[in-house]
Structure 1
Amino acid sequence: MSTKRQGDSGLGLDAQRAYIEHYYSDKPILAEFTDVQSGKDVFNRPELMKALALCQEQQAILVVAKIDRLSRNTEQALAIYRELAGRLESCDIPNLDKFTLTLFMAIADRERELISIRTTGALVQKVKRSGQWRKGSQAFTTGRAARLGHATIKAQAAQNGQSRPASAMINQLRQQHYSWSAIARHLNAGGFKTPKGGHYQAVQVQRLYQRALAEAL
């Protein structure tokens, strides 16, 4: 996994591939999956969903170059670890287990929090020294920009939510002949929520699959 900027340059992905080739040169690799997406949220990572499905089918180990390339969210990383029954390895953490995964993710979360605090503090000092940080546009000062932004976010959330990545995972597992109930268990283990925030049931999985098929026609 790599950010778009890293993916455009090829440096991020090449470096990650080099790590894995170095540590796993003597081990068979079933497949390679590449997401040029942010690691902040696993739900917009279709290739990761495919990798998880393959690991479930083959009882294989998911290998990542660095643990922060898997996810930047502690809860999501632990959900993946549980879904794979511990079959998760990272080149930067020897002998990865639940304790070390939780510890490393918590440290990363704390570092991001400190960076945010430092950035906010720097902006506050800038305002104190120079006055207003930047002059707001007319749309901003009148509140029109906020209303437009809110409407856009609401529309995108209604359109996408978690339905799109959930549909991708459902389609992948359905092709492997998983039952609706088994797919529902996979979605719930991966942290997916229904539009109302609940857990998936077999009938909801089937409806989402059929709706995705209808939209594709």
Structure 2
Amino acid sequence: MVPQYVIYYRVSTKRQGDSGLGLQAQRAYIDHFYQGKPILAEFTEVQSGKDVFNRPELKKALTLCQERKAVLVVAKIDRLSRNTEQALTIYRELEGRLESCDIPNLDKFTLTLFIAIADRERELISIRTKGALIQKVKQSGQWRKGSEAFATGEAARLGHVIIKARAADNVNSRLAGAMITKLVNEGYNWSEIARQLNQAGFRTPRGKAYQAVQVQRLHQRG
């Protein structure tokens, strides 16, 4: 039986929902990996990712998947949830019929590992930040005076741009890696794979076209 797919998109704010920020990238990933596959429906949510159980569009998507025994698909797993328990609950409800473009061959183990690592890293960043602040206050009695860029918000804006760019590079590399693995298994050589990556719109972290040697390195690193 040929599987059918239900696509779920999520953006975190009303502004993002109106502007398409983030949604366009999600659609690009889905179009790339699921072009030509039977898609039953698409659902788009404009809501925070904190609680999956208060998302009406996700509920509709899950209900349709259960009724039609379809596969739920997300562009990135954090669009579904950033909470391990919630993600596993959905995985069990769907009897494993869950796919994400950024996790090739997703199963219970990889799902648990991927989200648990993300959760742990966010927790450690919070602990390190708070610890550094406490130590600084103990040493000097107050936190350092903010620079002009900090006061005007320019530093925060630039930091957000850098973080977002790095995150995009990581996601693009994972998606490119998934495509490389697929093409390697189909018997394509490095040069042909590089050509197909470039035709699909993929670029290296430096914004350049892929060459055979870069394809090989990315595959070996993955």
2:78 alignment partner in structure 1: 68
Other-structure match for 2:114: 104
The one of 19, 22, 40 aligned to 2:50? 40
Shift of 1:48: 0.6
Aligned to 1:114: 124
SS in 2 for 1:85: coil
Secondary structure of the residue aligned to 2:105 is coil
Deviation at 1:2, TM superposition (A): 1.7
Residue 58 of structure 2 aligns to a residue in which SS?
helix
Residues 131 and 10 of structure 1, relative CA distance in 2, 3 Å threshold: farther
Give 1:87's aligned residue. 97
Change (3 A) 1:121 1:95: same
For 2:134, the equivalent position in structure 1 comes to 124
For 2:79 and 2:124, the matched residues in 1 are separated by: 20
1:53-105: per-residue Cα shift (whole Å, max 9, x none)? 01011111000001111001101100100000110000001111111111111
Report if aligned partners of 1:3, 1:36 keep a CA contact under 8 Å in 2: yes
* Unpaired segments ≥5 residues, structure 1: 134-217
Q: Quote the offset at 1:132 in angstroms.
A: 5.1
In structure 1, C-alpha distance between the alignment counterparts of 2:18 and 2:100, rounded to whole Å: 24
Specify whether residues 13 and 129 from structure 1 end up closer, same or farther in structure 2 by C-alpha distance, changes over 3 A only: farther
CA RMSD after TM alignment: 2.0
Gaps of 5+ in 2: 1-9, 144-222
Counterpart mapping for 1:163-202 below 5 A: none
Structure that is richer in strand per residue: 2
Distance 1:59 1:11, change over 3 A: same
- Quickly say closer, same or farther: Cα 1:94–1:121, change in 2 above 3 A: same
Deviation of 1:26 (Å): 1.4
Counterpart selection for 1:53 from 40, 63, 70: 63
Shift of the 20–125 alpha-carbon distance from structure 1 to 2, 3 Å rule, reads: same
| Pair 1:119–1:44, CA change in 2 (3 A) | farther
1:135-194 Cα offsets, whole Å, 9 max, x none, are xxxxxxxxxxxxxxxxxxxxxxxxxxxxxxxxxxxxxxxxxxxxxxxxxxxxxxxxxxxx
Q: Which has the higher contact order (CA 8 A, sep 6+)?
A: 1
C-alpha displacement at 1:16, in angstroms?
Answer: 0.8
Q: Does 1:3 align with 2:2?
A: no
What is the letter of the counterpart of residue 119 of structure 1?
A: T
Q: CA shift at 1:115, angstroms?
A: 1.6
**Offset, 1:25:** 0.7
Aligned residues: 134
Displacement of 1:126 in angstroms is: 4.6
Q: Which residue of 1 aligns with 2:184?
A: none
Report how far residue 129 of structure 1 moved. Answer: 5.5
Q: State how far apart, in whole Å, the 1-side matches of 2:18 and 2:121 are.
A: 26
Give SS of 2:43's match: coil
Is the Cα contact below 8 Å between 1:63 and 1:89 reproduced in 2? Answer: yes
Q: In 2, are the aligned partners of 1:41 and 1:72 still within 8 Å (CA)?
A: no
Gap change, CA 1:115 and 1:25, over 3 Å in 2 = same
